[in-house]
Amino acid sequence: MIRNHKEYEKAVKTLKKWAYYYYVLDNPLVTDEEYDKLYKEVEKYEKAHPDEIDPTSPTQRVGDVVLDEFKKARHITKMWSMEDVFSKEEFNDWHNRVKRLIGDKKYSYYIEPKFDGASLNIVYKDGKLIRAETRGDGEIGEDVTLNAKTIKTIPLEIDYKELIEIRGEVLISKKDFEKLNEERIKKGEPTFANPRNAAAGSLRQLDPKITASRPLLFYPWGVGYPVEVLNSDEVSEEQYRADKEKFINRFKTYKAMMDFVYSLGFKEPPKRGECDSKDLECVYKKYNEFVEIRDDIPVMLDGMVVKVNELNLLEDLGYTTKYPRWMVAFKFPAVEKETIVKDVVIQVGRTGVLTPVAILEPVEIGGVIVERATLHNFDEIERLDIRIGDHVIVIRSGDVIPKITKVLYHKRKGDEKPIPRPTHCPVCEAEVLDEGAIIKCQNLACPARAVNTIIYFASKNCLDIEGLGESVAKLLYEKGLVKDVTDLFKLTVEDLEKLPGFARKKAENLINAIKKVKGVECWRFVNALGIEHIGEVASKKICETFGVEFYKHDPEEFYKIEGFGPEMVKSIAEYVKVNKDQIEKLIELIQPKNPEKKEVENSPFLGKKIVLTGAMSKPREEIKELLENLGAYVTNSVSKKTDYLIVGEEPGSKLEKAKKLGVAILPEEEMWKMIGESNAN
């Protein structure tokens, strides 16, 4: 509570700093809840002491300053902020004010979601998109037309020839937000604190190509011109009045107006509705419905918006210096909070990846007590300089694992402890493979990754052990029969018969399938080891070059293999260092065969990089093996280095990509002709 003018001045200064970081820099210093709390306190003091109001207080302005890098653009009609309410009591107060102003006239409410994104004003004239502007200070925004045109949910042309401003929110889905941050972590770039900041940051890029590379969405929520208050001499007062009267008479309600907007080709929100103004229970029911579905909606919502539905009443209700009196945002409970990092523990995943997890001072977020949050990886910890004892902001949304989005460095006391990078696995104590963003335990016998190792070892493109899927692998491990892959070869029919669901026939089939592994091709054995970055194609190259005893070769020799770079070579070296004894033991048990040296002559595919797509006349694996015997390298993805894309019936997206990259397209029948001609020679 603010008690005097000195405290008020301090609060305004703090609020201005927070607003600057949030709106201008897209880099919030505090949670929305903390900002809203101080904002309300400042607003309360100003109402009680109107003579002391600081004209630069954030409560006295609609938005914030425009960034200098963008050309400024004046909105035809003013873009307002919205009053926020956080409880039934506050909503009732707003409702009663509206009711007093309208009097005895009958009216209803239009209800829609309040998206948590970046506001955008789009101007159409003669059916063409001519301008797009950020909110800015409500009167003048930033011209982001080129960026807006890259957003696929914004039509470049609409079936409406009159001048119109369509307003809405630029968003990024929660799923795409996660992907974007993962990509930025890999590149060593700072992550976005939340989807709202990601959307705002993406919209305000000087290079439209960057905006185009990000999957932004646009959801309209209103119309500026000719409904709102004229702000520009771009249109005369007479023309504005005529257009406004015509527009309001045509649509009559906000609901009908928005139905029209969505009919023009804009994306419609997942839920909208109407309620009679006399039925507040209808409003509360809609609010509860939004709260229930907010986590299932792919984009971030932070409340619902209630607007007077009748367009002819909006001008009568009018505006304060900041808000329209005819609409209000009924905000949801906060989903992000401030807390303290008490400790950090390391979890080892099924693939051996080490993930740091923060142990937090328990905090309630959206009705759930949060005590842990993912820290992504150790590169991210170092980039953000997260320390034990730090004050941090934690966000939680639906089933998404709680995450730390920001460190509040200004709250440090000096006794916070750095978080060291691990050098050994916390479960098996083996030395780890450190690749920067990824730190991984390579030990095949590590209990934390044992089950996944067994599943992969037995999979189709590895040793192809029929009957040894995920459920059986888990059962064998849980019952103590198999602790690592070498134990598979010690199993007996009698061991398996003791397990639930294993009759003698099933047990015999699995034992026979394991025995068939003996003498498997070298590449299958190498692929089955699960070496990071070494898949089927790389395994074949290793076996063709070094054979089964690849692990005895100096790591530097692997650079001689086409396509092998530092990451692959380092991974092989680290794997062999940890698992050499295990590899030799498995070779003794499996006795994999080295590939036969085939002299390939007159092959049109010798040394060529090939990708297959579509349905072929023969099984894909058979064609793949044939091409490899002819000296080709068959891979799964098209790139600039691909020599041929061989196309069967009903090809997929690889065909379009190949065309864009200028890769040679080869129909399957042409492939057979080329093979036949080379054999004839």
Helical spans, DSSP H, in 487-593: 493-497, 504-515, 522-528, 536-545, 566-590
Q: Domain boundary residue among 515, 533, 565? A: 515
pLDDT exceeds 90 at position 466: yes
Same domain assignment for residues 449 and 532: no
Give domain status of residue 511, yes or no: yes
Q: Sort strands 108-115 and 273-276 into parallel, antiparallel or unpaired.
A: antiparallel
Give domain status of residue 432, yes or no: no
Instruction: Convert the pLDDT of each residue in 479-531 to its tens digit.
Output: 999 998 999 999 999 999 999 989 999 999 999 999 999 999 999 999 999 89
Q: Which residues of 222-245 are buried (b: 16+ CB within 10 A; e: fewer)?
A: bbbbbbbbbbeeebeeeebeebbe
End-to-end CA distance of the chain: 93
Q: Domain boundary residue among 536, 560, 590? A: 590
DSSP string, 624-675: HHHHHHTT-EEESS--TT--EEEE-BS--HHHHHHHHHTPEEEEHHHHHHHH
Of 168, 166, 148, the closest CA to residue 158 belongs to 166
Give domain status of residue 427, yes or no: no
The edge-to-edge listing of strands for the beta sheet with 644-647 is: 633-635, 609-613, 644-647, 664-667
With cut-offs at 50, 70 and 90, classify the pLDDT of residue 139.
Answer: very high
Give SS3 for 363: strand
**pLDDT number for residue 62:** 58
Rounded to 5 degrees, what angle do the CA atoms 563, 548, 537 make?
30
Give domain status of residue 284, yes or no: yes
Q: Domain boundary residue among 296, 331, 366? A: 331
All residues at 6 or more sequence positions from 565 whose CB lies less than 8 Å from its CB, including other chains = none
Of 41, 40, 19, the closest CA to residue 30 belongs to 19
User: At 579, which CATH number?
Assistant: 1.10.150.20
Higher pLDDT, 471 or 400: 471
With cut-offs at 50, 70 and 90, classify the pLDDT of residue 99.
Answer: very high
DSSP string, 49-93: -GGG--TTSGGG-SS-PPPTTSPEEE-SBPPP--EEE-SHHHHHH
Higher pLDDT, 426 or 26: 426
Instruction: Convert the pLDDT of each residue in 365-401 to its tens digit.
Output: 866 788 999 898 898 899 889 999 999 999 875 445 6
User: At 39, which CATH number?
Assistant: 1.10.287.610
**Marked catalytic residue, from 16, 71, 106, 114:** 114
Same domain assignment for residues 191 and 239: yes
Q: Name the least confident of 114-128, 502-516, 625-639.
A: 625-639
**pLDDT number for residue 584:** 95
Cis peptide before 226 (omega within 30 of 0): yes
Q: Name the least confident of 26-40, 487-501, 591-605.
A: 591-605
Distances (CA, A) of 595 to 521, 549, 629: 7, 12, 11
Give domain status of residue 624, yes or no: yes
User: 């008479």: which residue's tokens?
Assistant: 249
Same domain assignment for residues 570 and 624: no
Same domain assignment for residues 102 and 53: no
- Does 114 participate in catalysis according to the annotation? yes
295, burial (CB in 10 Å: exposed 0-12, middle 13-18, buried 19+): middle
**pLDDT number for residue 26:** 62
Same domain assignment for residues 78 and 217: yes
Same domain assignment for residues 245 and 124: yes
pLDDT exceeds 80 at position 652: no
Number of domains comprising the chain: 6
Tell me the residue range of the domain where 54 lies: 5-60
**pLDDT number for residue 308:** 98
With cut-offs at 50, 70 and 90, classify the pLDDT of residue 290.
Answer: very high
pLDDT exceeds 90 at position 640: no
Q: Which amino acid is at 523?
A: W
Sign of CA dihedral 397, 403, 405, 406: positive
What does the alpha-carbon distance between residue 485 and residue 455 come to, in Å, rounded to a whole number? 9
Give domain status of residue 436, yes or no: no
Same domain assignment for residues 121 and 260: yes
Give domain status of residue 66, yes or no: no
Indicate left, alpha or beta for 266 from its phi (over 0: left) and psi (-120 to 50: alpha). Answer: beta
**pLDDT number for residue 68:** 60
Mean pLDDT, range 61-69, rounded to an integer:
57
**pLDDT number for residue 399:** 44
Instruction: Convert the pLDDT of each residue in 214-266 to its tens digit.
Output: 999 999 999 999 999 999 999 999 999 999 999 999 999 999 999 999 999 89
DSSP string, 417-467: EE-PPPSB-TTT-PBEEE-SS-EEE--TT-TTTHHHHHHHHHSTTTT--TT
The single-letter DSSP state of residue 499 is: S
Read off the tokens for 500: 């639930």
pLDDT exceeds 90 at position 196: no
User: At 279, which CATH number?
Assistant: 3.30.470.30
User: 């409410």: which residue's tokens?
Assistant: 109
Same domain assignment for residues 192 and 77: yes
User: At 346, which CATH number?
Assistant: 2.40.50.140
- In the chain, the percentage of residues whose pLDDT exceeds 90 is 59
Count of C-beta atoms within a 10 Å radius of residue 51: 5
Higher pLDDT, 308 or 624: 308
Report CA 374 to chain centroid distance, whole Å: 15
User: At 636, which CATH number?
Assistant: 3.40.50.10190
Same domain assignment for residues 580 and 482: no
pLDDT exceeds 90 at position 130: yes
Same domain assignment for residues 262 and 385: no
Contact 126, 311 (CB under 8 A): no
Sign of CA dihedral 626, 631, 634, 640: negative
What does the alpha-carbon distance between residue 214 and residue 204 come to, in Å, rounded to a whole number? 12
Give domain status of residue 256, yes or no: yes
Same domain assignment for residues 357 and 315: no
pLDDT exceeds 70 at position 24: no
Count of C-beta atoms within a 10 Å radius of residue 346: 17
Same domain assignment for residues 120 and 206: yes
pLDDT exceeds 60 at position 452: yes
Q: Which residues of 313-335 are buried (b: 16+ CB within 10 A; e: fewer)?
A: bbeebeeeebbbbbbbbbbbebb
Instruction: Convert the pLDDT of each residue in 539-572 to its tens digit.
Output: 999 998 899 999 999 998 998 787 788 888 988 9
**pLDDT number for residue 681:** 45
Contact 385, 479 (CB under 8 A): no
6, burial (CB in 10 Å: exposed 0-12, middle 13-18, buried 19+): exposed
Read off the tokens for 293: 């579905």
